[in-house]
Chain A
Amino acid sequence: MKDKKDHREKPARDHAMIELRHVDKWFGEFRVLKDVSLTVKRGEKVVVCGPSGSGKSTMIRCINRLEEHQKGQILVEGIELTGDVRKIEAIRREVGMVFQQFNLFPHLTVLENLTLAPIWVRHMPKREAEDLARHYLARVRIPEQADKYPGQLSGGQQQRVAIARSLCMRPQIMLFDEPTSALDPEMIKEVLDVMTELAEEGMTMVCVTHEMGFAQRVADQMVFMDRGEIVEMAPPAEFFAAPKSERTRLFLSQILRG
């Protein structure tokens, strides 16, 4: 704990929460990330889009080291991600993640899903963890589902539980990896509403999503990725009105038409 300070480098820019510097990653022979650089400041909301297989999921999975990058640097709150297990665990405590497939633990009740990490990672008394869990369940508007099992909930409800589960760790940053892609259309809105509220409260967020309405409403920065590279990065107004790259324009025309 004492030497934690030593791991921290001076943030390159003001309040940079996440910094990727020239990150490269290969899956075997295949280069999934090519020289990716990105900075996310405190309170900033970044929306990442791009065709499937463009490396966007891989990129955000590198931020909490579910994937290992091979070249370049990734700094989260000034701590550089290396093989050091303690640093990885420290970063994961501060970074929440929401998955496309929810990944709730099917053998635990909703309440137990929410209290698992606070109890085992934050060493929180059970009563306190449950109060916290109920608080966040109310925030995502499903307080009555606490004692059910994930398998008994709808997709939208499951994803909201997953968001609440991450929030119970009181993270500094939230990563969303296509949170609405596995949902039926009528359930997308309930999840996006929760995410919008979260954004309005000032959470630092990186979202991989194709929900362009959501992006226009909350994003500070739009990022377009294709074939492992960041092709374009701009504030939404500029990004949607006047995309610089041809690839971006093509992608937007396809996705907005659909």
Chain B
Amino acid sequence: MNASSTRRGSAWWNDERSRELLFQALIIGVVIAVLAYLGHNATVNLRRQGIVGGFGFLSHEAGFEISPALIPYTPADSYADAMLVGLLNTLLVAAIGIVFATALGLIVGLLRLSGNWLVARLALGYVELMRNTPLVLQLFVWWNLLRISAPGPRAAWQVLPGVFVSNRGVAFPVPEYDPGFRWVLAALLVAILASAALARWAGRRQARTGRPFPVLSAALALIVLLPTVVFVALGAPFHLDIPQLGAFNFKGGVTVTPEFAALVFGLVVYTAAFIGEIVRGGIQAVSRGQSEAALALGLKRRHVLRLVVLPQAVRTMIPPLTNEYLNLAKNSTLAVAIGFADYFSVANTILNQTGQAIEAMTLIAAVYLSLSLGLSLLMNLYNRRVALVER
């Protein structure tokens, strides 16, 4: 054997290529074998339990309530409708959560960087407390605070004027619809378009003559003033639909359930701690030298921030921020722990009712995986676009 291998160069099993092929074939073979074994077991088990596979069950009547539901839904609707209602609830929680968590996170991050010792310490304490305890525990605390410790509607806590917290949930005022709003809205739209045009014009003028124009303040004034003027001209047609205590509960305004309130609040305060650290890290990642160089050129502080520091900080912040948004969306599945009907808990209810475990889990995985993979695809595209060019 030895002689032949020296004569012909080397034996095939010592060839790098064929070794790799063999190794890969082995791995793929093992994976296929395992999957086939599991599949066989599943078929046997399902046949025993008398469960028919496939997604036909989705058109059957669901038979359970879902509250809240963003689209008209009754227990007589199908499982597919129920899942859609759950999906919309998940998206609603994620959307509200992301907006508020970003705002709060930005504040937390800036407070962490504050030169004020007390403020920076407090912000740090908040971040550490949030990050070092499980989210589900925090959700239980918020939920039980609302459900058990909060008073009944009659003695509801008024945390802000018109906002009532009771064991029935959180009631807050909403503006009553008035036909005049259409014009106010139109004015707002016009103001936004005008601001965009203004920004373009100002940019061109600065390029041409060098004279800068305070676009930001002008646009802000435009966007605030124009709708206000239209609003006042229409005779200020504004009525708040303020929650009023009825016989058993609040009437008017909007009341959200304790589950929804606890879930959104919990997700926001938890995620904000992580976003705060991202914001802090992003700003700190821009080296001191960058702002020093900009200052040394005579730029004003706000211009240094706007033209040099922020563009670089945002670049480093966007990828982890997206990741955190994704985490928030995934963490919203904890709704199942406190009984809020999000996509996951609706699917779980269906699973329990129908016994279609494989199908239900497939539908669950499909939604969250496409969300994750879609977002990371977008992120990769974005990163390729804004990545700093290096040699």
Which A residues form the contact surface with B (CB < 8 A)?
64, 66, 85, 89-90, 92-93, 95-97, 99, 101, 103-107, 116-117, 119-129, 148-149, 151-153, 162, 165-166, 169
A-B contact pairs, 8 of them (CB 8 A): A89-B298, A90-B298, A93-B298, A107-B388, A124-B210, A127-B207, A148-B389, A153-B391
A116 to B294, CA, bound (A): 9
A239 to B206, CA, bound (A): 50
B180 at the interface (CB under 8 A from A): no
Contact B292 A169 (CB under 8 A): no
A156 to B233, CA, bound (A): 64
A residues near B296, Cβ cutoff 8 Å: 64, 66, 92, 95-97, 166
Which residue of B208, B293, B315, B391 is within 8 Å of A125 (Cβ)? B208
Contact A125 B210 (CB under 8 A): yes
Which residue of B210, B292, B315, B388 is within 8 Å of A103 (Cβ)? B292
The residue in B209, B212, B293 that gathers the most chain A C-beta atoms within 10 A of its C-beta is B293
Which residue of B210, B295, B391 is within 8 Å of A122 (Cβ)? B210
Contact B389 A152 (CB under 8 A): yes
B residues near A126, Cβ cutoff 8 Å: 206-208, 210
B residues near A151, Cβ cutoff 8 Å: 388-391
Distance (whole angstroms) from the CB of B298 to the closest CB of chain A: 4
- Give chain B's interface residue range (CB within 8 Å of chain A): 20 to 34
Which residue of A85, A120, A129, A153 is within 8 Å of B299 (Cβ)? A120
Contact A117 B208 (CB under 8 A): no
B54 at the interface (CB under 8 A from A): no
B residues near A66, Cβ cutoff 8 Å: 292, 295-296
3 nearest CB pairs, A to B: A103-B293, A126-B207, A93-B298
* Known pairs A125-B210, A149-B389 / 6 extra A-B pairs, C-beta < 8 Å: A99-B289, A105-B312, A117-B298, A123-B206, A124-B210, A149-B390
A66 to B293, CA, bound (A): 9
A92-B298, A101-B289, A107-B315 known; A120 vs B389 contact (CB < 8 Å): no
Contact A99 B293 (CB under 8 A): yes
Distance (whole angstroms) from the CB of B154 to the closest CB of chain A: 57
Contact A120 B388 (CB under 8 A): no
Distance (whole angstroms) from the CB of B134 to the closest CB of chain A: 39
Contact A121 B299 (CB under 8 A): yes
B303 at the interface (CB under 8 A from A): yes
A residues near B303, Cβ cutoff 8 Å: 120
B residues near A152, Cβ cutoff 8 Å: 389-391
Q: Which residue of B lies closest to A109 (CB)?
A: B389
A119 to B303, CA, bound (A): 11
A104 to B390, CA, bound (A): 13
A residues near B293, Cβ cutoff 8 Å: 97, 99, 103-105, 162
A96 to B390, CA, bound (A): 26
A residues near B289, Cβ cutoff 8 Å: 99, 101, 103
A169 to B296, CA, bound (A): 11
A208 to B35, CA, bound (A): 69
A116 to B296, CA, bound (A): 12
B residues near A104, Cβ cutoff 8 Å: 293
Distance (whole angstroms) from the CB of A67 to the closest CB of chain B: 10
B residues near A96, Cβ cutoff 8 Å: 296-297
A37 to B389, CA, bound (A): 44
A126 to B391, CA, bound (A): 28
B residues near A64, Cβ cutoff 8 Å: 296
A107-B312, A107-B388 known; A123 vs B298 contact (CB < 8 Å): no
Contact B210 A105 (CB under 8 A): no
B300 at the interface (CB under 8 A from A): yes
A149 to B389, CA, bound (A): 6
B311 at the interface (CB under 8 A from A): yes
A99-B292, A105-B290 known; A92 vs B297 contact (CB < 8 Å): yes
A125-B207, A169-B297 known; A116 vs B389 contact (CB < 8 Å): no
The residue in A120, A122, A123, A148 that gathers the most chain B C-beta atoms within 10 A of its C-beta is A120
The residue in B207, B298, B390 that gathers the most chain A C-beta atoms within 10 A of its C-beta is B298
A129 to B210, CA, bound (A): 9
A129 to B211, CA, bound (A): 13
B308 at the interface (CB under 8 A from A): yes
Contact with A along B272-307 (1 / 0, CB 8 A): 000000000000000101101111111111010001
Distance (whole angstroms) from the CB of B83 to the closest CB of chain A: 44
B residues near A90, Cβ cutoff 8 Å: 298
A121 to B303, CA, bound (A): 9
Contact with A along B292-335 (1 / 0, CB 8 A): 11111111110100011001100100000000000000000000
B residues near A166, Cβ cutoff 8 Å: 296-297
Q: Which residue of B lies closest to A91 (CB)?
A: B298
A107 to B308, CA, bound (A): 8
B residues near A93, Cβ cutoff 8 Å: 298
Contact B388 A149 (CB under 8 A): yes
A152 to B390, CA, bound (A): 5
Which residue of B208, B212, B295, B390 is within 8 Å of A120 (Cβ)? B212
Distance (whole angstroms) from the CB of A117 to the closest CB of chain B: 4
Q: Which residue of A lies closest to B292 (CB)?
A: A66
Contact B307 A120 (CB under 8 A): yes
B residues near A127, Cβ cutoff 8 Å: 207-208
A99 to B292, CA, bound (A): 9
Contact with A along B155-172 (1 / 0, CB 8 A): 000000000000000000
A residues near B388, Cβ cutoff 8 Å: 106-107, 149, 151
A124-B210, A128-B210, A152-B389 known; A106 vs B312 contact (CB < 8 Å): yes
A residues near B209, Cβ cutoff 8 Å: 125
